[in-house]
Amino acid sequence: MNAVADTPVKDGVVADTFVDFREVFLAYDNSDECAVEDISLQTRPGEFIAIVGPSGCGKSTFMKLATGLKAPTRGTVHIAGQPVTGPLKFVGMAFQAPTLLPWRTTLDNVLLPLEIVEPYRRTFRKDRDKHVERALALLKTVGLDGYADKYPWQLSGGMQQRASICRALIHEPKMLLLDEPFGALDAFTREELWCVLRDLWTERKFNVILVTHDLREAAFLADTVYVMSKRPGRIVARRENPLPRPRDIDITYTEPFSALVHELREHIGRVRST
């Protein structure tokens, strides 16, 4: 499935494309069967995409390919016009379980990528005050004003997840990868964090790949939703989100929203029954 088949191609890369997967296959070591098969997908710069599909279909594998943690067995992956040849630095990630380090305060957890990732690493000590200021501002945006000095075990699950999102964004990544980031949260906190993510994205327009089992989450947040089949994972549907922006939680109670969720649900039903 080529979303932008009519767009001009230069050196094999579609112009004005950020993520560019072309006929990508991946078989893990020593496996005859592919985990993902024939994935072709292009995103526009700043686009927010969601990937939904049954457990084990290859969603996390797709993420590994998009960040260069795994190389395709066949096919090509370009990000920002460059072939992906190894782990990318301009990526922020957050996962289902917040992975904060228990011996570090919230602030020091958020600052962690700057201590590791170049070009920040070299000058981290010298620029620390400036970074702390940015980290505190980011914590404030996600509603964690006043929690910078607390340790992860002093925060609720939702607060830890907010801090994880700050950590994923502190080095101003061009691409944010979210693998079931809100899966473990209660429905109210989840919706609150949808709005936090929506606001951060609206302000900064980074590229987002969100993996989720929650079709409402995909419908609320994404510009485009991709549905993957059971293993070996293929993209079986691509749906542009017709809902206008800005979107508020109220939109989730409207008829067009329900219709979109229903349609996605039908795709998943078909995928699960085959």
Ligand X SMILES: Nc1ncnc2c1ncn2[C@@H]1O[C@H](COP(=O)(O)OP(=O)(O)OP(=O)(O)O)[C@@H](O)[C@H]1O
- Residues 163, 173, 101: CA angle, nearest 5 degrees: 30
Residue whose pair of structure tokens reads 């080529």 in the numeric block: 2
What's the closest the beta carbon of residue 95 comes to Mg ion, in angstroms? 9
Select 15 or 28, whichever has its Cβ closest to ligand X: 28
Residue 38: half-sphere exposure toward Cβ, Cα within 13 Å: 7
Q: What's the closest the beta carbon of residue 233 comes to Mg ion, in angstroms?
A: 11
- CA 120/CA 131 separation, integer angstroms: 10
Give residues in contact with ligand X (CB under 6 A).
28, 35, 53, 55-61, 231
Which residue's CB is nearer to ligand X, number 57 or number 165?
57
Nearest-CB residue for Mg ion: 60
Please report the sign of the dihedral spanned by the C-alpha atoms of residue 215, residue 257, residue 234, residue 175. negative
User: Residue 69 class from Cβ within 10 Å (0-12 exposed, 13-18 middle, 19+ buried)?
Assistant: middle
Q: Which is closer to Mg ion, CB of 60 or CB of 252?
A: 60
Neighbour tally for 167: CB within 10 Å: 25
Q: Tell me whether residue 34 or residue 176 sits nearer to ligand X (CB atom).
A: 34
Site for Mg ion contains 76 (CB under 5 A): no
Q: Which does 56 bind (CB under 5 to 8 A by kind): ligand X, Mg ion, none?
A: ligand X
Q: Which is nearer to ligand X, 60 or 141 (CB)?
A: 60
DSSP sequence for 20-89? EEEEEEE--TT-SS-SEEEEEEE--TT-EEEEE--TTSSHHHHHHHHHTSS--SEEEEEETTEE--S--S
Q: In whole angstroms, what is the distance from residue 140 CA to residue 137 CA? A: 5
CB 67 within 8 A of CB 87: yes
For the CB of residue 221, give the shortest distance to ligand X in the complex, in Å: 18
Q: Does 252 bind Mg ion (CB under 5 A)?
A: no
- Closer of 53 and 113 to ligand X (Cβ): 53
Task: Give the one entry of Mg ion, ligand X, none that residue 61 binds, where binding means its C-beta sits below a cut-off of 5 to 8 angstroms depending on kind.
Answer: ligand X
Q: How far is the CB of 242 from ligand X (least distance, A)?
A: 26
Please identify, using beta-carbon distances, which residue of 180 and 192 lies nearer to ligand X: 180
Q: Tell me the closest approach of the beta carbon of residue 64 to ligand X, in angstroms.
A: 8
Give the whole-angstrom CA distance, residue 84 versus residue 65: 8
The listed partner (Mg ion, ligand X, none) that binds 57, CB under 5 to 8 Å by sort, is ligand X
- Nearest approach in angstroms of CB 61 to ligand X is 3
Examine residue 60 and tell whether it contacts Mg ion (CB under 5 A): yes
| DSSP H helical ranges for the chain | 59-67, 106-116, 120-123, 128-141, 157-169, 187-204, 215-221, 255-273
In the complex, the smallest distance separating the C-beta of residue 56 from ligand X, rounded to whole angstroms, is 4
Site of interaction with Mg ion (CB under 5 A): 60
